[in-house]
Structure 1
Amino acid sequence: MIKKGFSSLGVGLLYLVSLLPYFILYLIADVLFFLLYHVTHYRRKVVQQNLANAFPEKSLAERQSIEKKYFRFLADLIVETIKLTTLSQEEVIKRVRIENRQMLDNAAFKKGKSIIGAVGHYGNWESGCLRMGLITERPCIIAYKPLSNEVFDRFFYNLRTRFGAYLVPMKNTFRKIVSHRHEVTFTVLAGDQTPSREEAVYFTNFLNQPTAVFLGVEKLAKATDSLVVFCDVRRVKRGYYSCTFVPLFDNPKLTAEYEITNAHVQYLENVIREEPQYWLWSHRRWKFKPTI
């Protein structure tokens, strides 16, 4: 998203925009797409390079088609995220359908076992995370990477905690889980965040290139013996999404080193390859390569 110059006044304006009905918001998104794609060329070179690296087997025309679809979706994503600041619980439940909540109950919660959920920046992950906070009365902990812009960071903090979820910096996630050690918890972490160079201790192959990944999902799952699931959020149509919880590991302590990490990263890649336009291609994901 566009962060530069974001201020308290900007937050107030976004609140007013969020009160608009969806049909007007999508008219705004259509204009926004034109501005991002045709006028400002917002990060188009970044998107083009990422697509070329990820899909060398695709023709230029195929990648250009994905690029254009991505920017159309990005414009929708921006207005949909703004709308979430005032969207009611009932409307969030209506617009993000949970396909298999019973899996959480049967596979873990009824057995007194906590869950670690891996997500990607795919589809409307903000809608997905907001919805996850409403599926259970158990504590929902969402790990995040704080933003450098304090006003922008506060905006997303308020958004993500609207329905009672705990938003915790990634480095403090284990401490938060420990504080709820006598409760069954549901913790959500983004599996495709970019670590800093100092934090990049492990690289795996993701979208055809060596990629630095956080090991948080794996470390937390093994430390707490939690069930590992992938939170598969898909776009159904404009403004509507579905979420399926895909079990990956029941007994994380029995897995080999990096097995959990490779599994959730590979699952996300498979999702992206099916409909690539819904992943965050304008993010500078591959900032550095592994040192030899």
Structure 2
Amino acid sequence: MLSLRHRLEYLVFQTFVCVIDSLSPAATAWVARCLATVIHYWLPRKWTRYKVASENLVRAFGDRYSEKEIENLVYEMWVHLFRTIAETVQCPRKLHLHSYRKIVDFADFTSTNEAICSGRRVLMLGGHFGNWEIGTALFGLWGFPMGIVAREMDNPYLHDWFRRQRETTGHRMLLKSGDFDEMVALLSKGGNLGLLCDQDAGPRGVFVDFFGTPASTFKSIALLALEYDALVMVGYSIRLKDEPGSQPWSRFEVGCEAVIDPRELKTDDPVGEITQQFTSALERAIRRAPEQYFWIHRRWKSEPRSNKRAKPVQQRLAG
């Protein structure tokens, strides 16, 4: 029965894939905005985690945005998310060696070129920001394959579809849970890894500042960088505004926000320093286009133990 459910889910998914893949750029943007309107304005807000998103925006930006502006940022986040899903479906057909120059504007790529041509291992980091799949695909097209670390999906048919999508350009998909030995083996052979670096790591993570608030972050990235003398590169793929008239597809600014070299660190806490540096780099990128970050993700879910112990005291004082 479980297998039948998975097959039915996959059948529905493939139907949507066929429809999405046939849409023009203008139609894709229009459909994404319609779906965002349904999610944001028609569904109960407890279903869409609006409170989480709005509280995260206030936590990150303080009083920079009014209530109305926060409302619009959350709405635009949904538009961005649906466009990202559509672009992921369309990517193999739209993005290739003969088209990417019309689709991508490059920020200063000097540090990126130096990193990937250095002969050293590279940990390429991104976040749930912009269209992270576009940047990954580009490096595959350029002959820079990586082990792409991702979470296993519950539906095995959907999981295989996304694996094929990511491996089309020469990458290899590795599971976040269960494939750590393969990650180590890849790095041992001089390979490179692509990872998302903005997920809550629970109470045992290393806490670093993210928009001015401690956020639990996985230590594994810094530990791998130190163990294998790997450069840590933080990249982004920001969707640019649509141009008037027809255009071949969505357009993106792709750039490198920071390259962190473990050899250059002068600190007694290299793990904490590397983790803070790549987290701060991601924050700087997000500030350029906050509507393209996935604010419904509970990035500050875990709190440092000192904060938990202080809460009862603060509550008593308030009383």
Regarding TM over 0.5, the answer is yes
92-101 vs 255-264, which moves further? 92-101
Aligned partner of 1:19 in structure 2 is 22
Between the two proteins, the alignment pairs up a number of residues equal to 284
Aligned partner of 2:83 in structure 1 is 76
Aligned partner of 1:55 in structure 2 is 61
How much has 1:288 moved relative to structure 2? 2.9
| Structure 2: gaps of 5 or more residues | 243-249, 307-319
Is residue 227 of structure 1 aligned with residue 231 of structure 2? yes
CA distance in 2, matches of 1:245, 1:281: 22
Secondary structure of 2:161 counterpart: helix
CA distance in 2, matches of 1:39, 1:240: 30
Asked whether the 8 Å contact 2:223–2:271 carries over to 1, the reply is no
CA distance in 2, matches of 1:174, 1:224: 14
AA paired with 1:176?
Answer: M
- What pairs with 1:155-174 in structure 2 (closer than 5 Å)? 155-171=161-177, 172-173=179-180
Aligned partner of 2:280 in structure 1 is 266
CA distance in 1, matches of 2:92, 2:9: 16
Is residue 240 of structure 1 aligned with residue 251 of structure 2? yes
AA paired with 2:223?
Answer: K
Is residue 8 of structure 1 aligned with residue 10 of structure 2? yes
RMSD: 2.8
Which is richer in helix? 2
| Structure 1: gaps of 5 or more residues | none
Identity rate of aligned residues, in percent? 24
AA paired with 2:76?
Answer: K
Asked whether the 8 Å contact 1:96–1:127 carries over to 2, the reply is no
Structure index of larger Rg: 2
Aligned partner of 1:64 in structure 2 is 71
TM-score by length of 2: 0.78
TM-score by length of 1: 0.84
Asked whether the 8 Å contact 2:147–2:186 carries over to 1, the reply is no
How much has 1:263 moved relative to structure 2? 0.4
Aligned partner of 2:104 in structure 1 is 96
Asked whether the 8 Å contact 1:225–1:253 carries over to 2, the reply is no
Asked whether the 8 Å contact 1:141–1:167 carries over to 2, the reply is yes
Secondary structure of 2:240 counterpart: strand
Match among 290, 296, 304 for residue 290 of structure 1: 304
Match among 188, 193, 217 for residue 213 of structure 1: 217
Asked whether the 8 Å contact 1:226–1:252 carries over to 2, the reply is no
Change (3 A) 1:170 1:260: same
Secondary structure of 2:169 counterpart: coil
How much has 1:180 moved relative to structure 2? 5.8
How much has 1:127 moved relative to structure 2? 1.7
Aligned partner of 2:41 in structure 1 is 38
How much has 1:75 moved relative to structure 2? 3.0
CA distance in 2, matches of 1:133, 1:237: 25
How much has 1:231 moved relative to structure 2? 0.8
How much has 1:50 moved relative to structure 2? 1.7
Aligned partner of 1:128 in structure 2 is 135
> Which whole-Å deviations, capped at 9, do the CAs of 1:253-279 have from their partners, x for residues lacking one?
845231111001011112222321110
CA distance in 2, matches of 1:169, 1:282: 23
Asked whether the 8 Å contact 1:108–1:227 carries over to 2, the reply is no
Change (3 A) 1:7 1:73: same
How much has 1:63 moved relative to structure 2? 2.1
